[in-house]
Amino acid sequence: MNRLTALRASMTEAGIDFLVLSGKEDILYLSGFYGSRALSLITLDFALLCVDFRYTEQAARQASGWEIIGSSGELFFRLKDMMSAAGTDRLYFDPAGMGYLDYTELAEALPGCELLPSAQMIRKLRAVKDSGEVELIIQAQRLAEASYVDIINRGLCDHSEKRLAADIDCAMIQGGADKPAFDTIVLAGPRSSMPHAIAGENSVGWNDNVLIDWGARRKYYNSDTTRTLFCGKMDTRLNKIYDIVLQAQIMALEAAVPGIPCRDLDRIAREYISNMGYGDNFGHGLGHGVGLEIHELPILNPSSREILQPGMVITIEPGIYLPDIGGVRIEDLVLITENGSKNLTGLSKERIIM
């Protein structure tokens, strides 16, 4: 079943005849076109893609089999005619991908039309990867790993966080990545207690720990990994939480099988960390899906409603963060298989002391 057919099956089940999309990744997934802005209309019979002049030639090449429309006005005119012929005034949009400006343009162009949010049908389809998607994620992961090995072999001490992040980014691109999957995170010493802080001007000092969170993008698909390293003598408190984080991750990795609710997988790691006395220092979810976006379905946290399925690619990334001392996070990229899971990360999790 191709992607449009699968989406239309979900639309039919939900009673949706007209669906407007503006999410870049959703449109890419369905059509093959990627640009900074586009609108798409999906019906049970038509697939229309609206782009401006900057993208008309590109869209004609990438979105094979789609009708390309050059202006939103033309798209809305066609939409009015089709809805009138169908005798409906109900139009659905994907709330996860549509911004406020696109929504207001749609509402102003279709007065009297009832605009209704749809379920995240495309994002649910995207959560389960096919073999081609998995291969691109693996390629991205290998490029990211090579950059990491290159950088740590050069040494970390006396280099600024920002310089190390730039070096990782450069190594990924030189190795064949399209770009970094996200802003590379390098945090040294006490700054590593801030899970997603921005790499700064401060240099890695002797006896600092260093948290590195990075990923590569390969043909629109992303990877994501985190490692925590040590320069010189290890702080005894960070040494202790390293063991706890690693054990929590191992427990979650072993339990990552199809059919387990994502919240239960999160609970396994979270309860262990809490039982070791650090529950208040693990404030984020255990992980998330990775694909065309670096954070996508499924989400692994205490309130998640998703269930792991074969073909999902997720991160498993417990962490403990001690304010003014430092933090430890260990993150692997994992493919859920028919019978269990496969760790796509080839890097060691043994302590690295430089």
Q: What pLDDT digit, counting tens, does each position of 166-193 carry?
A: 999 999 999 999 999 999 999 999 999 9
Residue 37 clears pLDDT 90, i.e. is over it: no
Residue 73 clears pLDDT 90, i.e. is over it: no
- At 151, the amino acid letter reads I
Residue 1 clears pLDDT 70, i.e. is over it: no
Q: Is the peptide bond before 298 cis (omega within 30 degrees of 0)?
A: yes
How much is the average pLDDT of 117-123?
91
Task: Report which of 81, 26, 79, 24 is spatially closest to residue 48, judged by C-alpha positions.
Answer: 79
Q: Where are the domains of the chain?
A: 3-123, 131-343
Q: What pLDDT digit, counting tens, does each position of 254-267 carry?
A: 999 999 999 999 99
**How many CB atoms sit inside 10 A of residue 223's CB?**
29
**With the CA atoms of 12, 16, 18 and 22 taken in that order, what torsion angle do they form, in degrees rounded to the nearest 10?**
-100
In this prediction, residue 96 carries a pLDDT of 85
Query: Is pLDDT larger for residue 192 or for residue 79?
Result: 192
Q: Are 198 and 162 in contact (CB under 8 A)?
A: no
How much is the average pLDDT of 199-221?
96
- At 183, the amino acid letter reads D
Residue 26 buriedness (CB in 10 A; 0-12 / 13-18 / 19+): buried
And the tokens for 181?
């999957």
In this prediction, residue 77 carries a pLDDT of 87
Share of the chain above pLDDT 90, in %: 85
CA distance 137 to 158: 33
Band (pLDDT 50/70/90 cuts) for residue 75 is: confident
Place of tokens 């429309």: 69
How much is the average pLDDT of 10-15?
95
What pTM value is reported for the model?
0.95
Task: Tell me yes or no: is domain 3-123 CATH 3.40.350.10.
Answer: yes
Band (pLDDT 50/70/90 cuts) for residue 71 is: confident
Q: Share the mean pLDDT of the chain.
A: 95
Task: Tell me yes or no: is domain 131-343 CATH 3.40.50.720.
Answer: no
Q: What pLDDT digit, counting tens, does each position of 287-329 carry?
A: 999 999 999 999 999 999 999 999 999 999 999 999 999 999 9
Residue 93 clears pLDDT 90, i.e. is over it: yes
Task: Report which of 237, 223, 53 is spatially closest to residue 136, judged by C-alpha positions.
Answer: 223
Cα dist from 257 to 47, 139, 304, 312, 339, whole Å? 36, 23, 16, 10, 7
Residue 182 buriedness (CB in 10 A; 0-12 / 13-18 / 19+): middle
CA distance 140 to 197: 23
User: What are the φ and ψ backbone dihedral angles of 66, each rounded to 5 degrees?
Assistant: -95, 150
Residue 206 buriedness (CB in 10 A; 0-12 / 13-18 / 19+): exposed
CB within 8 Å of 133: residues ≥ 6 apart: 221, 291
